[in-house]
Structure 1
Amino acid sequence: MNVVIIDYGVGNIKSIQFAFERLGITAVLSQDVQTIIAADKVILPGVGEAGSAMKKLKDTQLDVLIPKLKQPVLGICLGMQLMCNFSEEGNTKGLQIFDTEVKRFSNAVKVPQMGWNTITCLKTNLFNGIKENEYMYLVHSYYAENCDEAIALTEYDIAYASALKKDNFYGVQFHPEKSSLAGEQLLKNFLAL
């Protein structure tokens, strides 16, 4: 299985690579267009600020490539948010794969949301073997609004989309690589797509 993690200079790349190693997969870090196109599965990671992360994608023209990919693609955390239409963080136009916007949590709650929270309303085989109200690890100040493409929800001030799917594209707000056995199961499910 040829798994490529898009390496565009944002955080959490190594921890994702280690998570795949625990599953017996050597994931390749790359920003090379041909390497990404040839992959069986592609991961778009991300920890950081949306505006600067999107600039890095544009600088390498990966913003043009990613929406055209045909194999299963998984956006993680900021990676998922960049796959949305727009983010309030830095007033950033996203990749426009998921038809929703990314908003900042209100001051009514502690920001960032950091730690374990439950996921509910699970849909698609990305969640095979993962039960309703399973805990996943999250660290974020911005969230994707609930929409028709939501395949999991999390409650924090409001119910937001903690996972999204459209065609061959998947996104998760939580960090599967830091979410114990449930996160490991999600990565196995993604590999099996």
Structure 2
Amino acid sequence: MDLVILDTGCANLKSIKVAIKKLGYNSIITTEPSVILKCKKMFLPGVGTASAVMSILSERKLINIIKNFQKPVLGICLGMQLFCSFSEECYGVKTIGIIKSSVLRLRTKNLPLPHIGWNQIKFQTSHPLFKKIPNNSRFYFVHSYIVPVNKYTLSTTNYGVHFSSVIQKNNFFGVQFHPEKSGEIGSQLLKNFLEM
């Protein structure tokens, strides 16, 4: 199987699978290391808490497999945050550690949390992931924690503060929003990732 969606036990696995299927690709939801190691691209989705997903990854001995994976990986929402080394969530959680950054609680003055709904992404650089996507396009967000703007940031979003909405380090790509819930523009981003 060329495409793997890592089974992190979260609710949006099927919607990602359906979004990929609409683009003409088949994928498998699994935690089986032998299947993961043979795939060409991997999706790391996440909804819920960093501690719950890290427990699943640890229990299934997948942390080092992800860390050492050489082919393209797309982390979605919490999946992107897990690429960092630490999260402030639940008094602190050690995460995968691909990017040396902490995930911080989204601190906005008067705006409600979580940040739910459509918001713009502002490109910091041109990138194949943004092919046929206009700058300042709107994507669908649901989150209370952020990856601060850093040297791996490809786009930023503002919700009281600026934060990373797309990141890349080597073969690891992350999006803070949900492309599978972002209509045609989200579908285009998934297509760009699949065709890279």
When normalised by structure 2's length, the TM-score is 0.95
**1:139-162: CA deviation from partner (whole Å, max 9, x where unpaired):** 001111110000110001111001
Q: 1:58 maps to which residue?
A: 58
Tell me, what secondary structure is at the counterpart of 2:55? helix
Q: 2:96 maps to which residue?
A: 95
Q: 2:154 maps to which residue?
A: 151
**1:5-50: CA deviation from partner (whole Å, max 9, x where unpaired):** 0013122101100000111111101101110111111000010011
State whether residues 153 and 165 of structure 2, in contact with CA within 8 Å, keep that contact through their aligned partners in structure 1.
yes
Query: Deviation at 1:105?
Result: 1.4
State whether residues 85 and 100 of structure 1, in contact with CA within 8 Å, keep that contact through their aligned partners in structure 2.
yes
Number of equivalenced pairs: 193
Please give the residue correspondences for 1:12-51 in structure 2 after superposition, counting only pairs within 5 Å: 12-51=12-51
State whether residues 108 and 160 of structure 2, in contact with CA within 8 Å, keep that contact through their aligned partners in structure 1.
no
Q: 1:118 maps to which residue?
A: 120
Tell me, what secondary structure is at the counterpart of 1:45? strand
- What is the CA–CA distance in structure 1 between the aligned matches of 2:157 and 2:101, rounded to whole Å? 16
State whether residues 87 and 104 of structure 2, in contact with CA within 8 Å, keep that contact through their aligned partners in structure 1.
yes
- What is the CA–CA distance in structure 2 between the aligned matches of 1:111 and 1:40, rounded to whole Å? 36
Tell me, what secondary structure is at the counterpart of 2:177? coil
State whether residues 77 and 173 of structure 1, in contact with CA within 8 Å, keep that contact through their aligned partners in structure 2.
yes
Query: Deviation at 1:107?
Result: 5.0
Q: Which structure 1 residue ranges, 5 or more long, are not aligned? A: none
Q: Name the aligned partner's letter for residue 117 of structure 2.
A: G
State whether residues 120 and 137 of structure 2, in contact with CA within 8 Å, keep that contact through their aligned partners in structure 1.
yes
Change (3 A) 1:185 1:122: farther
Q: 1:162 maps to which residue?
A: 165
**Which stretches of structure 1, 4 residues or longer, exceed 3 Å deviation after superposition?**
none
1:180 aligns with 2:183: yes
Q: Which moved more, 1:55-64 or 1:1-10?
A: 1-10
Tell me, what secondary structure is at the counterpart of 2:116? strand
Tell me, what secondary structure is at the counterpart of 1:57? helix
- Aligned-pair identity in percent equals 42
State whether residues 120 and 138 of structure 2, in contact with CA within 8 Å, keep that contact through their aligned partners in structure 1.
yes
Tell me, what secondary structure is at the counterpart of 1:147? coil
- What is the CA–CA distance in structure 2 between the aligned matches of 1:187 and 1:32, rounded to whole Å? 23
Q: Name the aligned partner's letter for residue 141 of structure 1.
A: S
Q: Name the aligned partner's letter for residue 7 of structure 2.
A: D
When normalised by structure 1's length, the TM-score is 0.97
